[in-house]
C-alpha cells in the first residue's frame, strides 16, 4: 500500500506560482514553474533562485557522547568541526556501501544531521540502532523544520536587508543563528548549485513568511522560484553527486569520489575496516565525469562502452543549460577513469563519444570558498 504524499509548508506557494507538482521522495514538490527549467537554471547562474528544500531530513543529536556517536556513524572527522561550522560527510554500511551523504552542523549544545529526503526513515532507524550504546538524545526534527535555499550571485545582496547576521561574515560551510524576515533562522553558507548563497533553516510554520519576504526583496534583482529540475541540472554541472543516482549502498565512498571525506586514520567508524581493505587492495571502479561530443543526451541508465563493450552505466546525465553540451556521471573500471580517456555512450543504439573529465563541468560559478 502506497503512503500518501506529504507536502511542505510552502506547497500552497508553489501551486499559486504555477509550479508543476510531481512526486519526489515521498513529497509533492515543484519540478519547475511557469518560466521553465532552463530559465530557472540561468537565473541561479546569473542572479538568484529560491528553492524549497524542506523535504530534507533534520536529526538533532544531544548529550555527553553526541560527538562520539557522530564520529562513529560518519566517515569524516567530526572532531574537526568547530561551533558554527558545517561538514560534508557520509554514513556507510559495514561493507563500505553508502547509506547516505549528509551535512553535519555543530552548535554549542548539539549537532544537526541533514539527510536526504528519500532516506529519512532508513537513516533514522539506522542511527537509532547505533545510538543505543551512547549517552545521547536523538530527535527527528524533520517535520518541524523548513529549509529554503537562496542561491546565486545576488543572494547576499538580497538576503542582507532581511537578516540580522551580517551575511558577509558567513563564510563557506559556516552558519549563524539569527533572524530572517523577523523569524528565528539558521543562516548557512551552503548549497547544492555551485553558486554563492545560503540555506535557511526555520520552523515549518514560519517558512511562508520567509519565502514571501525573499521573493519581494529579490524581485528587482530578478530572483525567481526554482524547482527540482533546475536544482538537478545545476548540481550536475558542478559534478555534485545525487544519492539514489550516483551514490548508493552498492558503491563505497572510495569508488564514488568521496575519498577526500573518508578519514581512515581517525579511529573506528562503521565501515572503516572494509574501506581500509579496499584502499589497500585497490578500487576496481570509480565514479567519473564525462563530457559528450555532439548533441547526444546522456540519460541515466544508458550503457557506457569501450570498444563496443559495455563497461558501466550513466548514473546522472543531461544537456548542460550553461554549456550547451551533454554532461554525465557514471561508474567505469578504474583503468578507464583517467582524465581524457575516450569512451562511448549507447544512446538508443547509437554510440556517442564521451571524454572523461574531472568535474566541475561549469567553472564560472560565484561560490566563495
Q: pLDDT per position in the chain (369 positions), as tens?
A: 577 999 999 999 999 999 999 999 999 999 999 999 999 999 999 999 999 999 999 999 999 999 999 999 999 999 999 999 999 999 999 999 999 999 999 999 999 999 999 999 999 999 999 999 999 999 999 999 999 999 999 999 999 999 998 999 999 999 999 999 999 999 999 999 999 999 999 999 999 999 999 999 999 999 999 999 999 999 999 999 999 999 999 999 999 999 999 999 989 999 999 999 999 999 999 999 999 999 899 999 999 999 999 999 999 999 999 999 999 999 999 999 999 999 999 999 999 999 999 999 999 999 877
Q: Is the distance from CB of 127 to CB of 59 less than 8 angstroms?
A: yes
Half-sphere exposure in the Cβ direction for 182 (13 Å, CA): 4
pLDDT score recorded for residue 368: 75
pLDDT score recorded for residue 77: 98
The CA distance from 324 to 366, in Å, is 19
pLDDT score recorded for residue 1: 52
pLDDT score recorded for residue 134: 98
Backbone phi and psi for residue 255, each to the nearest 5 degrees, phi listed first: -75, -30
On the 0-12 / 13-18 / 19+ scale of CB atoms within 10 A, 141 is middle
- Helical axes 120-131 vs 66-73, angle rounded to 10°: 120
Report the candidate in 235, 262, 230 with the shortest Cα–Cα distance to residue 246.
Answer: 235
> What domains does the chain contain, in order, with CATH numbers?
11-56+143-237 (3.30.1360.120), 57-136 (3.30.70.1400), 284-357 (2.40.30.110)
pLDDT score recorded for residue 20: 98
Q: Please, which residues have CB within 8 angstroms of residue 178's CB and are 6 or more apart in sequence? A: 163, 164, 165, 184, 185, 187
The CA distance from 105 to 84, in Å, is 7
Q: How far is CA 367 from the centre of its chain?
A: 15
C-alpha to C-alpha distances, 6 to 3, 22, 115, nearest whole angstrom? 9, 11, 17
Amino acid at each position: 500500500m502506497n503512503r500518501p504524499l506529504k507536502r511542505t509548508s510552502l506547497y500552497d506557494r508553489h501551486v499559486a506560482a504555477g509550479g508543476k507538482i510531481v512526486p519526489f521522495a515521498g513529497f509533492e514538490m515543484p519540478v519547475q514553474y511557469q518560466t521553465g527549467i532552463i530559465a530557472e537554471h540561468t537565473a541561479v547562474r546569473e542572479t538568484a533562485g529560491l528553492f524549497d528544500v524542506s523535504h530534507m531530513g533534520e536529526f538533532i543529536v544531544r548529550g555527553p557522547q553526541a560527538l562520539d556517536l557522530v564520529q562513529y556513524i560518519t566517515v569524516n572527522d567530526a572532531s574537526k568541526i568547530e561551533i558554527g561550522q558545517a561538514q560534508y560527510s557520509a554514513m556507510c554500511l559495514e561493507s563500505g556501501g553508502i547509506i547516505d551523504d549528509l551535512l553535519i552542523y555543530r552548535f554549542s549544545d548539539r549537532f544537526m544531521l541533514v539527510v536526504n529526503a528519500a532516506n529519512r526513515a532508513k537513516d533514522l532507524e539506522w542511527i537509532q540502532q547505533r545510538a543505543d550504546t551512547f549517552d545521547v538524545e536523538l530527535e527527528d526534527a524533520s517535520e518541524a523544520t523548513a529549509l529554503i535555499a537562496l542561491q546565486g550571485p545576488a543572494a547576499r545582496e538580497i538576503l542582507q536587508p532581511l537578516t540580522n547576521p551580517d551575511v558577509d561574515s558567513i563564510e563557506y560551510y559556516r552558519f549563524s543563528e539569527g533572524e530572517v524576515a523577523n523569524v528565528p533562522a539558521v543562516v548557512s553558507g551552503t548549497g547544492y548549485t555551485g553558486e554563492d548563497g545560503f540555506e535557511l533553516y526555520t520552523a515549518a510554520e514560519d517558512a511562508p513568511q520567509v519565502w514571501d519576504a525573499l521573493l519581494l526583496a529579490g524581485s528587482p534583482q530578478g530572483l525567481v522560484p526554482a524547482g527540482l529540475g533546475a536544482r538537478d541540472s545545476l548540481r550536475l554541472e558542478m559534478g555534485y553527486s545525487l544519492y539514489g543516482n550516483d551514490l548508493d549502498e552498492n558503491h563505497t565512498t572510495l569508488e564514488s569520489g568521496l575519498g577526500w571525506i573518508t578519514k581512515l586514520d581517525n579511529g573506528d567508524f562503521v565501515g572503516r575496516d572494509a574501506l581500509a581493505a579496499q584502499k589497500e587492495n585497490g578500487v576496481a571502479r570509480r565514479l567519473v565525469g564525462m563530457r559528450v561530443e555532439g548533441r547526444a543526451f546522456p540519460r541515466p541508465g544508458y550503457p557506457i562502452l569501450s570498444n563496443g563493450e559495455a563497461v558501466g552505466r550513466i548514473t546522472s546525465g543531461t544537456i548542460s543549460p550553461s554549456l550547451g553540451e551533454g554532461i554525465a556521471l557514471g561508474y567505469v573500471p578504474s583503468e578507464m577513469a583517467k582524465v581524457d580517456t575516450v569512451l562511448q555512450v549507447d544512446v538508443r543504439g547509437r554510440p556517442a563519444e564521451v571524454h572523461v573529465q574531472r568535474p566541475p563541468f561549469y567553472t564560472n560559478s560565484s561560490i566563495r570558498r
